[in-house]
């Protein structure tokens, strides 16, 4: 199995630009998560999808952030417009099903730098 695939692995952009991060979950997994990792705040859940439907987006920091999951094998996280404080590592994770005991499998992350 290829695992969770994220692209791009690195992104450098200028303030005000639109940034789109992409994720392909493990085939057959019904739950998908977007996390952000920063030195100040650690790992935070941004949004959770189950069966392609957003269930919990309470972690999305503001309206500049949006996420979609048009089908079971693809999700995007978009930041528009980007700001320097959005610089972080963004992880996508997937699990077979919802539930506290389910293992979440993480992708390699996208390192975003906003200048």
Partner 1 sequence: AQSVTQPDIHITVSEGASLELRCNYSYGATPYLFWYVQSPGQGLQLLLKYFSGDTLVQGIKGFEAEFKRSQSSFNLRKPSVHWSDAAEYFCAVSNDYKLSFGAGTTVTVRA
Q: Contact positions toward partner 1, by CB under 8 A? A: 4, 31, 33, 42-43, 45, 48, 50, 55-56, 91, 93, 95, 98-109
Q: How far is the CB of 86 from partner 1 (least distance, A)?
A: 19
DSSP state of 86: G
Lookup result for tokens 């963004």: 90
- Per the CB < 8 A criterion, the answer to whether 92 and 32 are in contact is yes
Q: SS3 helix, strand, coil % of the chain, rounded to 5?
A: 5, 55, 45
Nearer to partner 1, 81 or 113 (CB): 113
Nearer to partner 1, 14 or 41 (CB): 41
Q: How far is the CB of 94 from partner 1 (least distance, A)?
A: 12
């Amino acid at each position: 199995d290829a695992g969770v695939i994220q692209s791009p692995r690195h992104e450098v952009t200028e303030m005000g630009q639109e940034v789109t991060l992409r994720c392909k979950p493990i085939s057959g997994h019904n739950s998908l998560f977007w996390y952000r990792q920063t030195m100040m705040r650690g790992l935070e859940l941004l949004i959770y999808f189950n069966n392609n439907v957003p269930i919990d987006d309470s972690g999305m920091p503001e309206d500049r952030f949006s996420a979609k999951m048009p089908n079971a094998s693809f999700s995007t996280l978009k930041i528009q417009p980007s700001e320097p404080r959005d610089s972080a590592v963004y992880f996508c994770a997937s699990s077979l099903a919802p539930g506290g005991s389910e293992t979440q499998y993480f992708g390699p992350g996208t390192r975003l730098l906003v200048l």
